[in-house]
Structures are given as C-alpha cells and as structure tokens.
Amino acid sequence: MEGVDHLAHERNKTEFDVDAMKIVWAGSRHAFEVSDRMARLVASDPAFQKDNRTRLGRKELFKNTLRKAAHAWKRILDLRLTEEEAGRLRTFVDEPAFTDLHWGMFVPAIKGQGTDEQQQKWLPLAYKMQIIGCYAQTELGHGSNVQGLETTATFDPETDEFVIHSPTLTSCKWWPGGLGKISTHAVVYARLLTNGQEHGVHGFIVQLRSMDDHMPLPGITIGDIGMKFGNGAYNTMDNGVLKFDHVRIPRNQMLMRVLQVTREGKCVQSNVPRQLIYGTMVFVRQSIVADASVALSRAVCIATRYSAVRRQFGSQDGGVETQVIDYKTQQNRLFPLLASAYAFRFVGEWLKWLYTDVTQRLQANDFSTLPEAHACTAGLKSLTTTATADAIEECRKLCGGHGYLCASGLPELFAVYVPACTYEGDNIVLLLQVARFLVKTVSQLGSGKKPVGTTAYLGRVQDLLQCRCDVQTAEDWLKPSVVLEAFEARSARMCVARAQNLSKFENPEDGFAELSADLVEAAVAHCQLIVVSKFIDKLQQDIPGNGVKQQLQNLCYIYALNLLHNYLGDFLSTGCITPKQASLANDQLRSLYSQIRPNAIALVDAFNYTDHYLGSVLGRYDGNVYPKLYEEAWKDPLNDSVVPDGYHEYVRPMLKQQLRNARL
C-alpha cells in the first residue's frame, strides 16, 4: 500500500521531540539545514539513482560512477554551492569515487605540506578540477610502515630535477584510490636522496597522465588493481598500481613547507615546525570517526526499522505475531549499537574541537598537547572503525535472512565500510601507538610531569588504584561519577599493570613485543573511557527539546553499561567492581532497554536519512517492506528471461539423460 506509514504506530509512542533531536544529531541547526537540503536535492535527482548498483558489471559500474561524479560537479557549479554544501552533496551521492581522494587527501596534502608558492600554483587548478589528484603513499610491500617505503626521489643537481623511481616490484604504489584510471596528478611519497645521503620520506607532486589524451606519461606504468570485496561497494573506485621508471620532475614539485632542497641539493629545515604535519593527521582521523558514526547509524536505522516491521512467533489462537524488536535478545544486541552510534557522534564532535585547539596551539608554537592529541585520535580511529565494522555485520544478522540480500543495503554498506579498519593506520598498529604513549605517561608520573587532556585521570593514579565502587542498587549505575570512576579505575589499573610488567624486561622493546596483546587491551580500555567521558560531558550541556536529554542519558548508560558487561573480565580482575555490582549493572541495562523500546524508531528517525541515502528496502521510512522486496526481486537480470541461458546446453541434457552426447 503506497502512502501508508506502516510504522506510524511506533512513531506515536515517542516520548521526546524528534525535530529537536535531529538538531542535536546534526550538531547545529545550520548543519541540519544544509544536510537536509543536500540530501533531498540528491534523492530527487534521477541521475543519482543507485538501486541497480549491485547488479552492474565492473566496467559499467565504473562508467556510471564517472557519470555521477561529473553530474555532481555540474550541480555544484550550476547551483554555486559553498564548500560545505558541496561536501554534503558528495556524501549523499553515496558512491566511492576518485573525487573522494582528490578533495579528501590530495588537496589537504598540498595545503598542509606545500609552501605558499606551491599552494598558489596547484590549489586553484585542483579547486576548479582542472587537474585531478590522488595520494600515492601505500606500496605493494609497505602500508603501515611508512618509513619502509621503497620509492626513491633522487636529486639531480645538473638538471635541477628529482628522479622518481620504483627500484623493486614491492616499491610499486598499490591501493591509492583514483590512481588506477582517472587521476592526472598524485602526491607521491618517496625516500629523498641528495648527494648520496638519505633524508627520510617526503611528498612530491607528480603528473601521471597527459592533459591532452589522458595517456600515461613516459616512464609511468599505471592501472587498476582489480576487483575488491562485495557487489558494487568499493568497486566504483579505481584503486591503482603505479610504477616509476626514472621519471623526472622539477625540484619545485617537492612539497617544501617543512624541508627545502636548494639548487645545490642541500636540505634546509624551514622555520615552519614539522609538527604542523600532525595537524593534518588529526583532521583526517577526526573525519574518519565522524564517518564511523554515520555508517553505524545507517546500519542501525535499517535494523531497527525492520525489527519493528518483522513479526515472528508468539501468536495465540491465530492472533498477530510478536514484533522482533520486542524480544529481549534482539534489544540486547540492537540497542547498544544504537547507543554506540550516538556515542561516536558526540566523540566525533569533540574531536572537531580538538582539531581546532591543536591547530591554534601549533600556530602559536605550543606543542605541549600534541603527543596526547596524536595518541587520542589514533586510538579513537581504531576503536570506532572496528566497532562500526562489527556492528554493521551484527545489524545484518539482526535482519535475519533478508539482511543477506543486496536489497537490504547492509552487504554493500559493510563492504564499503570495512577498509576503514586498515586505511589511515591499521587498527592494531594504532592501538600499539596508544599503548606506547600510555606506558610513557605512567612512567613519567614520578617525575612530576602532569598528564594532559584525555590522560589527565592518570594524574590521580594513587586514588584510582585504591578506590572502591560504592554501587549498592541498580539505580546507582545511573550516576555519572560512578560510571566514570569505574572506567577510569579500570584503565588506570590496566596501564599501571602493563607498565610494571614491561619494567621486568631488560630490553624494553623485547618486552613491548612480548606483551603487545596485553598492551592493546589497555589501549582499548583507555579509548573506551574517552568515549564514555565525552558522552557524559555532552549531557552536562544545555540540550533543548522536550525529553531529548532523558533519551540521551538512557543511551549514554546503555553504551557504558554494555561495555562494562562485555569487558567484565577487566573490571573484575582489576578489582574495580564486585560480581554483585556487575549483576546490578545488568539489571539496570534491562530496565534501560525497556525505556528505549518505545522511542527506538524515533531515535533512528532523528538521523534524518532519506530512503535514497539509506538504500535499503528493509529500512524504508514507511516500513512497507514485503511488497517492495517482492518488486525488487524481479529486477534481477536473471529474471529477464523465464528460461535461463544455459538451460538447453547443460540442464536439459541432464534431465533427459543425454549428457554423454551433450557438447559441454
């Protein structure tokens, strides 16, 4: 039935102002209005249709992506959209494309690492898309270990040029998005060699293809690395391979904001502190955390709506069956994911503030908070992307068999999202970096050096090693100070224990290698504390809207107490809480699930996603799932003919016992 809201009965139960929650989710009324306008603009334009994407072959899929990217750029120019509006429009087109790397990596690399002159030359071309760029760092043989990159850039003083070369097969650039078929230029990372000496890895702007016929320039071998995981999904992106054979570029195409190479080949440190480069890293990781909340919220929106539509078991005397969302097992799996989406949203919001703060400090030559900001963003990138990838898959399972259909939107969402666990830092490698920082912080406590930012709690380590949780009733777990102390004590005790175990090794590096799995656990505990504390901080703000703050409080405690339940071993083994208190936390969780239940649909409506952006028959706003699922099935190319191709050659001979004579 068209035009009927099959979820109206759910929406009528809502106990808070959904429109006010939409503003909270978006971050501000302005952000909400821009997103809402751009989402509707994309959804109403047939050129951005995407429901056939998983059925297309690679060539057709890729060409379709190029068409959409060109159409999006035309709309941006025709409507004279601001940079903010253009970014939102590209988000809602919802198709990985070469433009992601151009705007997300190539342009920021030049802004962050180029001199004023270099920015004046290259940025206008990039902003007008007169050149299209990518970010060529990862190689076939090296990803996380950037210092192990093998591509070389050797300065030739006779010609005032750098010679870019791939000396081995493993030195081929491998994975950069946009590189395979489209990018005309790249920021290439290579080992700088001058006068026979090596000076570390630096970025160079290299033209890859002719601006006339798009053919690779001499000395450049370039192509796509092949199909990736999933149907549609990230196969819209031309991840590439790039091999250099002594390619020459002018000296002024090395990005020289921090280190300059003179005409004579001397390396001169500029007066710009090299730490400024970390500002870009904080920005990129902050945007990845923000993306995690978006991907997770999309999956949760689909699973929540479908859980309210789907009925199974529980009917008495032929009456209606029970909504799947009413089963406690479903709530126990689904509602913590809903809470996580909000938690990641707010920690992402805080990271935006951190980026601004770090940038201002760097410009004032204040580097005091940089190591902590670096560790914090590395850890949160790891924590949120791992949790989101796992959560999307859990949402697929929460949708039963239909979740496995491409029409559910979940397989493609998962396939597009999972690379986030690897790009911009492998998640385990990042947690090890966090662990190093935590151990160092603990080891310096005796010297009077006060921990800053998200590690400030370690300055109270003596109290946290001795404190005892005073929870006596289930309701006590709704006190922010109680929850915060439990998470701080757990993290502090784990950090101290790891540091003590490390000190037993003569060689610290041997100890780090041996205890790395334990160290990762301490890093996770620290990062979970950050997310919990920032959610609690959010609740201290003035949040307008009837019932909005109450819902956010419920979600905050669901997030924290579910973590406590899942990591109970940490809390019990460190003596932070007792088994009885853990049991009370579980009682409180069940109560919170019951309070969230009537508001579940409204809480996902607050994400304000159009049906186009969700791309899911199961997650439709109107809940009209079954007729649409049936309709969708007939669109598959296999249903173009009643009798399939191949029947007469292969199946009929089997049925007629004529296989011996068949020409297979």
Name residue, tokens 């979820």: 7
User: 241: which 2 tokens?
Assistant: 């391979």
Lowest mean pLDDT among 68-82, 263-277, 317-331, 412-426: 263-277
**What is the token pair recorded at 434?**
């966090």
Q: How many CA atoms lie within 13 A of 656 on its CB side?
A: 11
C-beta separation of 151 from 173 below 8 A: yes
pLDDT of residue 367: 84
What's the whole-number mean pLDDT along residues 58-86? 97
Structure confidence by residue, pLDDT tens digits, 109-132: 999 899 999 999 999 999 999 999
| 311 pLDDT higher than 90 | no
Rounded CA gap, 581 and 587, in Å? Answer: 10
Q: Is the pLDDT of residue 655 over 60?
A: yes
CB 164 within 8 A of CB 153: yes
Structure confidence at residue 291 (pLDDT)? 96
Percentage of the chain modeled with pLDDT above 70 = 100
Cβ atoms of 163 and 143 within 8 Å: the answer is no
Q: How many CB atoms lie within 10 A of CB 437?
A: 20
Nearest 5°: phi and psi at 22?
A: -60, -40
C-alpha span between 475 and 477 (Å, rounded): 5
From the list 199, 209, 211, 134, the residue with the least C-alpha distance to 173 is 134
Contact 582, 564 (CB under 8 A): yes
Residue from 424, 485, 509, 514 carrying the catalytic annotation? 424
Q: Which helix (H) or strand (E) holds 348?
A: helix 328-363
pLDDT of residue 217: 98
Write the DSSP assignment of 195-245 as a string of letters: TTEEEEEEEEEEE-B-TTT-PBPTTEEEEE----STTTGGGGS--EEEEES
User: What average pLDDT does this structure show over 369-379?
Assistant: 90
Average pLDDT, the chain: 95
Report which secondary-structure segment, H or E, holds 120.
Answer: helix 116-127
Average pLDDT over residues 597-616: 98
Extract the runs of DSSP E, i.e. beta strands, from 517-663: none
Residue-wise pLDDT for 484-527, tens only, equals 999 999 999 999 999 999 999 999 999 999 999 999 999 999 99
SS3 661: helix
In the annotated binding site, the residues are: 138, 177
Mean pLDDT of 450-472: 94
DSSP letters for 579-637? HHHHHHHHHHHHHHHHHHGGGHHHHHHTT---HHHHT-STT-TT--HHHHHHHHHTTSG
Cα 293 from Cα 584, distance rounded (Å): 29
Residue pointed to by tokens 């790039």: 242
CATH topology classification for 277-605: Butyryl-CoA Dehydrogenase, subunit A; domain 3 (1.20.140)
The C-alpha atoms of residue 537 and residue 519 are separated, in whole angstroms, by: 27
Q: Which of 76-85, 193-202, 275-284 has the lowest mean pLDDT?
A: 275-284
Cβ neighbourhood burial of 622 (10 Å; 0-12, 13-18, 19+): middle
DSSP 42-65: HHT-GGG--TTGGGS-HHHHHHHH
Contacts of 195 (CB under 8 A, 6+ apart): 155, 265, 266
Confidence of residue 448 (pLDDT cuts 50, 70, 90): confident
Query: Residue 2: pLDDT band by 50, 70, 90 thresholds?
Result: low
Tell me how crowded residue 369 is: count the other CB atoms within 10 A of its CB: 16
Q: From CA 134, how far away is CA 205, in angstroms rounded? A: 10
Domain residue extents for the chain: 107-272, 277-605
Entry pTM? 0.95
Do residues 421 and 513 touch, judged by C-beta distance below 8 A? no
Residues in the chain: 664
Residues 623 and 536: their CA atoms lie apart, in Å, by 33
pLDDT at 406 over 70: yes
Using alpha carbons, select from 152, 116, 109 the residue that is nearest to residue 134.
109
User: Confidence band (pLDDT; 50, 70, 90) for 660?
Assistant: confident
Rounded Cα gap, residues 61 and 204, in angstroms: 32
Q: Is 424 a catalytic residue?
A: yes
CATH number assigned to the domain covering 107-272: 2.40.110.10
Binding positions for FAD: 138, 177
Residue 532: pLDDT over 80? yes
Element (H, E) at 185: strand 185-194
Quote the pLDDT of residue 610: 97
